[in-house]
Structure 1
Amino acid sequence: MDDEDLIPLSALQHYLYCPRQCALIHLEQQWAENRQTAEGRLLHQRADIPHAERRGGVRTMTAMPLLSLELGVTGQADVVEFHRGDAGERAFPVEYKRGRPKAHRADEVQLCAQALCLEAMLGTPVETGALFYGQTRRRKDVAFDPELRDLTLRTIAETRAMIRARKTPSARYEAKRCDACSLLDLCQPRLFERNSVGRWLQRQLNEEED
Structure 2
Amino acid sequence: MATYSEEDYLMLSGIQHFAFCRRQWALAHIENQWNDNYLTIAGQNLHHKTDDPYISETRGEKFIVRAMPVHSREYGLTGVCDVVEFKKDNNGTQVFGKSGKYVPIPIEYKHGKEKTNHSDELQLLGEAVCLEEMLFCHIDYGYLYYGKTRHRKKIEFTLALRQELNQTVLEMHSYWQRKYTPRVKPSQKCKSCSLRDICLPELLNRESVNEYIERRLSE
Tell me, yes or no, whether TM beats 0.5: yes
Secondary structure at the aligned position of 1:173 is classed as coil
**CA shift for structure 1 position 171:** 3.8
Partner residue of 1:48?
Answer: 51
Instruction: Could you list the structure 1 runs, at least 4 aligned residues long, displaced by more than 6 angstroms after superposition.
Output: none
Partner residue of 1:178?
Answer: 190
Partner residue of 1:73?
Answer: 77
How many Å separate the matches in 2 of 1:145 and 1:71?
17
Secondary structure at the aligned position of 2:40 is classed as helix
CA deviations over 1:35-63 (Å, ceiling 9, x no partner): 11111000000222213221111200010
Percent identity over the alignment is 40
**For the aligned residues, what is the CA RMSD?**
1.3
Paired amino acid for 1:39: A
CA deviations over 1:17-42 (Å, ceiling 9, x no partner): 10100000001111111111111000
Secondary structure at the aligned position of 1:71 is classed as coil
How many Å separate the matches in 1 of 2:29 and 2:87?
34
**CA shift for structure 1 position 86:** 3.7
Aligned residue pairs total 193
Partner residue of 1:106?
Answer: 119
Q: Which structure 2 residue ranges, 5 or more long, are not aligned?
A: 92-100, 207-219
Q: Does 1:159 align with 2:172?
A: yes
**CA shift for structure 1 position 113:** 0.8
**CA shift for structure 1 position 192:** 3.3
Normalising by structure 1, report the TM-score: 0.88
**CA shift for structure 1 position 79:** 0.3
Secondary structure at the aligned position of 1:93 is classed as strand
Q: Does 1:31 align with 2:34?
A: yes
Q: Which structure 1 residue ranges, 5 or more long, are not aligned?
A: 197-210
**CA shift for structure 1 position 2:** 2.4
Larger radius of gyration between Structure 1 and Structure 2:
1
Normalising by structure 2, report the TM-score: 0.85
Match of 2:10 among 7, 10, 24: 7
CA deviations over 1:161-200 (Å, ceiling 9, x no partner): 011110111142101x1101111011122x236x67xxxx
